[in-house]
Amino acid sequence: MARLKVFISSVQKELAEERITAQILLSTDAFLQKNTVPRLFEYTPAPLSCRKKGYLDLLRTCNACLLILGEEYGVPDPDTGLSATHEEYRLAKELGIPILPCIKGDQSFLREPEAEQLFKEIKHDGHTYSRFKTLEDLQKIVRDRLVEHIKTVYDVTPTQENNSDATQNITVADVFDRQRLDVVEWDELDKDIARTMMTATEEVSMNALSDEDVRKQLVDRGYLWFDPETKKHFAAAAGVLLLASDPSKVFPHTRIQIDAYVGNERTARADDYEFLRGPVTSVLDNAVRFVQRNTRHPMRVVGLRRVRVDEYPETALREALVNAIAHRDYRESGVKVTFEVFHNRVVVKSPGLPAGGQSLTRIASGAGAGPGLGTRSLLRAWPGLMPWKIGVRAACDSS
């Protein structure tokens, strides 16, 4: 089946967070990413010719309409007396486009009179609507409704792994990642890393995406956002962490402290140390080089050749550090991820509790979520970051 173009309709300013949440869900969920494309009017390139109601033109190109209704009605058009959201709803109904109404709040939720009238019209027309209170509720509703629609109309269903990953990702997604910052512009980000991210996500060659395609993909996934006032693209918090040359200039606690000790115990001063700062990829590379510099590399005879053996496999070191970065609680601004190398072990410490609210006791018992589940939203859209086999932990004592 062709990917469904899903038009996201709502009052833009009041429901900006809900709009970006729906957009990110459709762009990062494994099943929805393959079968849908989010369409938001504010991210549509302006046409060369003047179009008074371009949002309706965009809706006409779509296959489904996700309508999110909150407290406000929006500014009425002087000709029709209807808000843009109301016009979008009526056009979708006229064109026979499937409509998925998501209503914010319970029955006691207060809306503007016009918004309440729109809600009554939706109910009178017989549409099945869903209520939500939180962004997590909204994500679950949107995914369930779209999955059911795709299954019913196109006979395409998600795998059990798709559903398990979706549940975990929705549960552990953090509002920190989606913060709309206006301190780092698109031109200041690492374009090479951005292209690597998007080509890995889209599973295409490096030359298949133009610079504009890369930027649009980053916007769809919540790494970038467009400020209509300044007409500039800025990095969201997740974009800063993954693509800025030095994320610690914005978030000082993202620096990683790495120390090496000659013996088995921590001494007053480390024999070798570094503070790692930069995009996640460069931090990983520098951390691996640091560990290799401070650990043993015995030689082993394989056939007729002498081969150097690393004391700690690189894949295990990378996974331990990726987990520490991905699952740390970034709200704890006074604590850093630490990486300590001793004579007999490597210790990685990550601030906060395990992802998904699991207890250490549950994980130790073997009843916790399996490897690969619960990755924070800032990393879940970048498969190219972790190309190695998940689960190689034996060589690292990570905590």
At residue 372, the pLDDT reads 35
Listed residue (45, 66, 378, 62) closest to 213, CA to CA = 45
Round to whole Å and give the CA distance between 258 and 255. 10
Residue 196, amino acid: T
Instruction: From residue 7, give the alpha-carbon distance in Å to each of 67, 139, 381.
Output: 8, 15, 21
Round to whole Å and give the CA distance between 388 and 376. 18
3-state secondary structure of 198: helix
Q: From first to last of its 399 residues, what are the pLDDT tens digits of the chain?
A: 789 999 999 999 899 889 988 988 898 888 998 999 999 888 776 665 566 788 999 999 999 999 999 999 999 999 999 999 999 999 999 999 999 999 999 999 999 999 999 999 999 999 999 999 999 999 999 999 999 999 999 999 999 999 988 887 776 556 677 788 899 999 999 999 999 888 887 778 888 888 899 998 898 888 898 888 888 999 988 899 889 999 999 999 889 999 999 999 999 889 999 999 988 888 889 999 999 999 988 888 888 888 888 888 888 888 888 888 877 878 788 888 999 999 999 999 988 776 555 666 766 676 655 433 333 444 443 433 433 222 222 223 333
At residue 371, the pLDDT reads 38
Q: Map out the domains of the chain with their CATH numbers.
A: 1-173 (3.40.50.10140), 174-244 (no CATH), 252-398 (3.30.565)
**Is residue 31 within 8 Å of 147, Cβ to Cβ?**
yes
DSSP state of 266: -
At residue 360, the pLDDT reads 64
Query: Packing angle between helix 280-293 and helix 314-327, nearest 10 degrees?
Result: 140
**Is residue 242 within 8 Å of 184, Cβ to Cβ?**
no
At residue 172, the pLDDT reads 58
At residue 380, the pLDDT reads 41
At residue 366, the pLDDT reads 65
Round to whole Å and give the CA distance between 160 and 225. 32
Round to whole Å and give the CA distance between 38 and 172. 22
At residue 379, the pLDDT reads 46
At residue 345, the pLDDT reads 92
Q: What are phi and psi of 203, to 5 degrees?
A: 60, 50
Residues forming a β-bridge with 260: 272, 341
Round to whole Å and give the CA distance between 190 and 299. 38
Number of H helices, E strands in the chain: 14, 15
3-state secondary structure of 398: strand
At residue 30, the pLDDT reads 86
3-state secondary structure of 78: coil
Sorted by sequence, the CB contacts under 8 Å of residue 132 that are 6+ apart come out as 102, 103, 104, 138, 141
At residue 387, the pLDDT reads 32
3-state secondary structure of 373: coil
Helix, strand, coil share (%) of the chain residues, nearest 5: 40, 20, 40
